[in-house]
Amino acid sequence: MSAPTTRSVPPHTPYHPRWYRSHVSTYWWMQQWSYFRFVLRELTSLGVAYSCVILLYFIRALSLGPQAYEALQRRLASPVLVLVSFISLVLVLFHTITWFSLSARAMAVRVGGKRVPGLLITASNYVAWLVISGVLAWFLLR
């Protein structure tokens, strides 16, 4: 047994078949609507992160003073940031909708030994969302 001098064959264990691996395109998620929706759902996280950063900027402006608060609002009204915010809002809403339908499948709530139908769980999520949004709006628009 001597060490091979040429590297014409990729390294593999003798007597073991090389695995067959079908090549998956980098753009696999663009080939079907359901795949694309899956990736879009994952990308909603970018909208979530953007929202956190915006809120942190507002907290920073509050600690800096009234001028910083006004300046931040003026900067957010620039066309580029309005576009980014709008896209983020669409993504965040998509996250909320998909998260609520997901929670109905992830949670098996049982009342009196019977499983609560998923539609009811999703519906109660929407109701809670409306109530929470209403409370927040009341605090901010008072």
Residues that bind other proteins (CB under 8 A): 24, 26, 29, 39, 42-56, 58-60, 62-63, 65-66, 69-70, 73-74, 76-77, 81-82, 85-86, 88-89, 92-93, 95-96, 99-100, 103, 125, 128-129, 132-133, 136-137, 139-142
Looking at residue 70, the DSSP 8-state letter turns out to be: H
Which of 46, 116 has the CB closer to other proteins?
Answer: 46
Give the nearest distance from C-beta 111 to other proteins in angstroms. 21
Which of 120, 136 has the CB closer to other proteins?
Answer: 136
Which of 8, 34 has the CB closer to other proteins?
Answer: 34
Say how many CA atoms lie within 13 Å of 125 toward its Cβ: 16
Give the nearest distance from C-beta 76 to other proteins in angstroms. 4
Reference 101, options 37, 36, 30; nearest CA is 37
Which of 3, 140 has the CB closer to other proteins?
Answer: 140
Sequence-distant (≥ 6) Cβ neighbours of residue 1 within 8 angstroms: none
Q: What is the dihedral of CA 92, 94, 97, 100, to 10 degrees?
A: -60
CA–CA–CA angle 58, 68, 142 (5° rounding): 55
Give the nearest distance from C-beta 47 to other proteins in angstroms. 8
Q: Where are the beta strands (DSSP E) in 84-131?
A: 110-111, 114-115
